[in-house]
Structure 1
Amino acid sequence: MRTLKKTSLLAAAIGAVAALLFSGTAQAATTISSGHVDVFAIAYDDTANKLDLNVKIYSTGQTIEPADALFDVHSGHQVTMASATACRWDAGANWVLPRTEQTGKIWAGWNTDGLNLASFGGNVKVNLVSYSAPAGGHVSIYDSTTNTTRLHTNSGCGASAITVTESHHHPTWVFTEPGVYTLTLRLSGTHSVDGAVTSDPVTYTFDVG
């Protein structure tokens, strides 16, 4: 069983700033605050036998690396819940990326356009390697239509990897506290010819509040 390591918020913030501003050529991050975006744009390079994880922005047609994206989960995403649901959301204020497209909000999904899922037995996995969060904060990704939690930063929820079976999908994302979150993720799968393959670990940054 993978043990998830929760790093300190201070270290994560320093690391995020360093990655975004001093990654060789001081390239500013692309801030994403609304619109259709596939947070996980999944592909396979069969020349290198390697999976790849990027971000696709539909308004511009860009595909960028996660390190070059900053997700601005602004106050327009705030939703007040009357009560908590385990491994889903807390009572009170939460910040939600909705399952359906809504004006002014991030519509976050994933796609497998860059590979043939059948060659991977019908699925690949997005594995949570580590994360950082503000005090008391967690991230959940769930499907309301099937009542399934796909990913949760609390290891007690038993959802440390998303099994991706869809060509294109939009679940609901929830952040339970304001602040900066980082998610470090790695793809894995078993190719019918190349065997077990992975991606490099990549880190996503979400600024919530």
Structure 2
Amino acid sequence: MRSTMIKAGAALGAAAALLFAGTAQAATTVGSGHVDVLALAYDDNANKLDLHVELANGTVLEPADVLFDVHSAHQVTTASATNCRTDLGTNWVLPRLETAGKLWAGWNTEALTLASFGGSVTADLVSYTAPSGGQVAVYDASTNTTRLHTDPACDDGAIAVTETHHHPTWVFTQPGTYTLTFQLSATHTTNGAVTSDPVTYTFDVG
């Protein structure tokens, strides 16, 4: 469960954008196509979980080296707000089905054996920053299940990852820079409690 939530104002969001721009040359910008944002792995030698980003071609990247570009093609106009999902007006949506020109964002556990962790690994959202008024929702439309939300009133801030490979719907409600910091935790059937280091992802929405 998240221990600290930071709701950044416009000034902080702008500062974060400028800070990231200073390191943009070292980053890989991903703005479309199949990407497993949360690619879970397990190092059995160190008894430690790890988080990476994996592209459709099999390229594995460190989250700190990736900027997710949630550009204008992701804009969706809604006629009314949906509680804990979308705001009235413009939202930026990463669809659950692969769509040309848009990010198809999901997660996978292909680098570990879920059965060795009782069938589930938890991805805790331990902190985040967002532009003023911005929220992030991750949900499964087919089952009407919220998988993650940055508002504690909507969700406890933890994804129970139970799938080998899965793509939900992601929603960002305001333009600006978002950072989401996740940490994995689980119980290995042989080795006991295991965690990962906290890992931060950056999304540029607008």
TM score, norm. by length of structure 2 = 0.93
CA shift in 2, pair 1:38/1:138, >3 Å? same
CA shift in 2, pair 1:93/1:11, >3 Å? closer
Contact 2:146-2:155 within 8 A present in 1 as well: no
Q: Distance in 1 between matches of 2:25 and 2:47?
A: 29
Give the C-alpha shift of residue 122 in structure 1.
0.2
Q: Distance in 2 between matches of 1:98 and 1:30?
A: 21
Q: Distance in 1 between matches of 2:196 and 2:20?
A: 19
SS in 2 for 1:118: helix
SS in 2 for 1:6: coil
Contact 1:78-1:94 within 8 A present in 2 as well: yes
CA shift in 2, pair 1:54/1:126, >3 Å? same
Corresponding residue of 2:36: 38
Letter in 2 for 1:197: V
| Cα RMSD for the two superposed structures | 1.9
Confirm whether residue 180 of structure 1 aligns to residue 180 of structure 2.
no
Confirm whether residue 53 of structure 1 aligns to residue 51 of structure 2.
yes
Q: Distance in 1 between matches of 2:20 and 2:86?
A: 30
- Runs of 5+ in structure 1 lacking a partner? none
Q: Distance in 2 between matches of 1:145 and 1:100?
A: 11
Superposed, 1:124-143 pairs within 5 Å as 124-143=121-140
Letter in 1 for 2:55: I
Give the C-alpha shift of residue 138 in structure 1.
0.3
Contact 2:6-2:127 within 8 A present in 1 as well: yes
Q: Distance in 1 between matches of 2:141 and 2:155?
A: 17
CA shift in 2, pair 1:93/1:7, >3 Å? closer
Corresponding residue of 1:4: 4
Q: Distance in 2 between matches of 1:184 and 1:139?
A: 13
Corresponding residue of 1:147: 144
SS in 2 for 1:145: coil
Give the total of aligned pairs.
205
- Runs of 5+ in structure 2 lacking a partner? none
Give the C-alpha shift of residue 16 in structure 1.
6.8
Give the C-alpha shift of residue 28 in structure 1.
1.2
Contact 1:80-1:94 within 8 A present in 2 as well: yes
